[in-house]
Structure 1
Amino acid sequence: MSVVAEDEDVVTLGAAAAQQILARGGADGVRTLMFATETGIDQSKSAGVYVHRLLGLGPNVRVVELKQACYSATAAMQFAAALVARDPSEKVLVIASDIARYELDTAAEPTQGAGAVAFTVTANPALLELEPANGVYTEDVMDFWRPNHSTTAIVDGKTSITAYLDAVAGAFDDYLSRGGAPFDAIDWFCYHQPFTKMAVKAHRHLADRAGSGADPAAVAARIEPTTGYNRRIGNSYTASVYLALLALLDGAEDLAGKRVAIASYGSGAVAEFLTGTVPANYRTALRAAENERRLADRVPVDDATYLALQDAARRRDPSNYETARQTPAPFRFGGVRDDQRIYEPTV
């Protein structure tokens, strides 16, 4: 699993992910930045506003933060699609960035992780063309939450698995009722992955409901190409389902013309099921080698370092502190001075 350096947080992770997009395509047309996270850094100010400055975006950009556990990046994508439909000249920058951190020596500790994904929503998409049908589902379930006073989440593991399966199934049923493609007409499925086997459980659940007759080995084979990044990164909450999509796109399979499903889930609980088709020339927009390099360049940490990083996250005086210079990433979190968060480029 990935753990963050002392001078990293969701802002620095998200800014680093989005910087790659702007370096390639520029910021022209970007009038909205949506920042999806459940690792909030402020009760009022959006984490995206800090990213806006770090990326050097102009003043004529709306910025907003969205929260609903691991689901909100999908809400951001749908809201972005509506904005682009209204004005096809606009682009919307979506950032999903999270740090999954749990108490030491608990059952949830092995499912920690950290990561960020950024993408633009445009009228002429390079990677996935969204189809109009989608299904949604909401139910008030106490399976996972993080109170204001806590830096770690509270998890009811068994309830969370059941809630996940029920919500994804409910969203898929709603998707079908709104003209969505039948189960067997979908080529690939990308699921939210708090741990990678959850995607297999979810796909088997939908396959059984759809009467597809898929055996367990066939189910696992269809999900395997979506698990590569999440297996190495761990749980990244809002970014997880889009890391699944990215792993599929970066993989060896030829996806041109294929229909891909996104099954997005956020505890508490909200789910959405949607599909899109992959354009013919999608590989020209990928950066698989760079993604692999970023993963390979991570620095392994020993037990003592890991425990020190976990302890540093629980600040004794959260209103004033400095962070040690550790990250080699393009941006760093310098700490808090008089309750104001400090961000700066590393070079």
Structure 2
Amino acid sequence: MKIGIDDIGLSVPQHFFALEELAERHGIDPQKYLVGIGQEFMAVPAPDEDIVTLAANAALPLLDDASRASIATVILATESGIDQSKAAGLFVHSLLGLRADCRVVEFKQACYGATAGLQMARALVAQRPHEKVLVIATDIARYEQNSEGECTQGAGAVAMIVAENPRLLELHPHQGRYSLDVSDFWRPNLRSTALVDGKLSIEVYLESLRNAWQSYRADGGLGLEDMSFLCFHQPFTKMAKKAFSVFEAIEPEAAKALGEKAYSTSQLYGKAIGNCYTASLYIALLSLLDNSDEDLTGRNIGLFSYGSGSVGEFFSATVVPGYQAHSRRKAHARMLASRTRLGHEQYSNWFYGDNHPAVADYSTPYVTGGAFRYGGCEGYRRQYESTALSLKMAS
């Protein structure tokens, strides 16, 4: 039975901030950001955008009457949770008008959560092939203002439909996993921004990749020489180069044959969006599928997912014949090209201002032009609106 990604969509905020201007504010050479970490822009959510609206906007283009009828599970992965109890996916389920006999859950393990969701989705489809699973990775990466992490911030969501006989990617059964209890990145309760030990996090990421690769090979996975491309979790796009250096050390001949082209196309979207935590690996995958000038039919792709704290997983997939006919690359290109650039004052206000106060009742200004918006709270109940239908959705 062939199971994999049948459709995939991207959503990013409609505004961005240039890293060149941030570097000037920080009083450093812009090349430290543009070249040093490989970032050009960060996607910036408006006050009426959050992980729910990003998730719903990513999934909406994938849906029609047939897919709505066949989706039996929604898995939403995020580390930007909006409630300590209720799954954010339930808001998305309502906004998208999905069937009532549908399970909805939220997965959390730093940036790794969407990969856990993808593997669960694959197992569910194997059990019930007539059903499909909607997996959504959605996050807003936040660090303290003027911290070292600020330059890596971003926001976005990727939605994937997992099904039998997929039209885009067939997932392979082999998996390599590695878990280690370490405090390289974390966000305690009552903090809106993350804490990170950057040097340690890079070291653990690379250790996780080495061990996950060995686990994948021991599980019967493909050799590096059998892969054409590699997609890595990218907390900043230069991390893909650091990750590839692991293979240059342990598989030098195969890595030399692959070269930089194995991962460079997967960096393009990340440069323009920034870190999206759970969505970052899948934004890299989309960047490859959307932007490659080669026919990828039949090519094998290796993927490495990493979530601080930490869990890593290496897995692989094959591009399905006819995948181009189901590409949404033009829509994604329009989305990125139509964004509005923010000045530092507006960016700072949206990212660090008190736009979502810890009070029972407040409303947000109308800014986003997306299909869904976050309206604020009534009695601590989050309010969402479908802008196309002007329907107010309450928890």
Instruction: Answer whether TM exceeds 0.5 for this pair.
Output: yes
Once the two structures are TM-superposed, the CA of residue 25 in structure 1 deviates from its matched residue by: 5.8
User: Quick check: 2:76–2:105 contact (8 Å CA) kept in 1?
Assistant: yes
User: Quick check: 1:204–1:219 contact (8 Å CA) kept in 2?
Assistant: no
Q: 1:339 to 1:6 in 2, by over 3 A?
A: same
Q: Does 1:46 align with 2:87?
A: yes
User: Quick check: 1:190–1:226 contact (8 Å CA) kept in 2?
Assistant: yes
Q: 1:287 to 1:315 in 2, by over 3 A?
A: closer
Partner of 1:166: 207
Q: 1:22 to 1:194 in 2, by over 3 A?
A: same
Partner of 2:243: 202
Partner of 1:258: 299
Aligned residue for 1:27, secondary structure, equals: helix
Structure 2 letter corresponding to 1:129: E
Q: Does 1:181 align with 2:222?
A: yes
User: Quick check: 1:321–1:336 contact (8 Å CA) kept in 2?
Assistant: yes
For residues 256 and 22 of structure 1, what CA distance do their matches in structure 2 show? 25
Aligned residue for 2:188, secondary structure, equals: coil
Partner of 1:246: 286
Report 1:1-347 matches (<5 A): 1-23=42-64, 26-212=67-253, 214=255, 219-251=259-291, 252-313=293-354, 315-347=356-388
For residues 257 and 313 of structure 1, what CA distance do their matches in structure 2 show? 49
For residues 173 and 253 of structure 1, what CA distance do their matches in structure 2 show? 29
TM-score when normalising by structure 2:
0.85
Aligned residue for 2:341, secondary structure, equals: coil
Aligned residue for 1:60, secondary structure, equals: coil
Deviations 1:166-201 (A, max 9, x none): 111111100000111111211110000000010111
User: Quick check: 1:200–1:219 contact (8 Å CA) kept in 2?
Assistant: no
Unpaired segments of 5 or more residues in structure 2?
1-41, 389-395
Unpaired segments of 5 or more residues in structure 1?
none
Q: CA RMSD in A?
A: 1.5
Structure 2 letter corresponding to 1:274: F
Aligned residue for 1:133, secondary structure, equals: coil
Once the two structures are TM-superposed, the CA of residue 131 in structure 1 deviates from its matched residue by: 1.1
Structure 1 letter corresponding to 2:272: R
Once the two structures are TM-superposed, the CA of residue 20 in structure 1 deviates from its matched residue by: 0.8
For residues 209 and 155 of structure 1, what CA distance do their matches in structure 2 show? 28
For residues 25 and 199 of structure 1, what CA distance do their matches in structure 2 show? 38
User: Quick check: 1:37–1:69 contact (8 Å CA) kept in 2?
Assistant: yes
Aligned residue for 1:77, secondary structure, equals: helix
Once the two structures are TM-superposed, the CA of residue 24 in structure 1 deviates from its matched residue by: 8.6
Q: 1:337 to 1:4 in 2, by over 3 A?
A: same
Aligned residue for 2:177, secondary structure, equals: strand
For residues 148 and 314 of structure 1, what CA distance do their matches in structure 2 show? 19
User: Quick check: 2:180–2:310 contact (8 Å CA) kept in 1?
Assistant: yes
User: Quick check: 1:19–1:55 contact (8 Å CA) kept in 2?
Assistant: yes
For residues 281 and 149 of structure 1, what CA distance do their matches in structure 2 show? 48
Aligned residue for 1:65, secondary structure, equals: strand
Structure 1 letter corresponding to 2:387: T
Deviates more, 1:275-284 or 1:313-322: 313-322
User: Quick check: 1:126–1:281 contact (8 Å CA) kept in 2?
Assistant: yes
Count, aligned residues: 346
For residues 339 and 168 of structure 1, what CA distance do their matches in structure 2 show? 41
Once the two structures are TM-superposed, the CA of residue 71 in structure 1 deviates from its matched residue by: 0.4
User: Quick check: 2:57–2:372 contact (8 Å CA) kept in 1?
Assistant: yes
Structure 2 letter corresponding to 1:246: L
Q: 1:218 to 1:91 in 2, by over 3 A?
A: closer
Deviates more, 1:264-273 or 1:17-26: 17-26
Q: 1:314 to 1:173 in 2, by over 3 A?
A: farther
For residues 65 and 332 of structure 2, what CA distance do their matches in structure 1 show? 14
Deviations 1:289-317 (A, max 9, x none): 00001111211111110111023356443
User: Quick check: 1:183–1:207 contact (8 Å CA) kept in 2?
Assistant: no
Deviates more, 1:279-288 or 1:309-318: 309-318
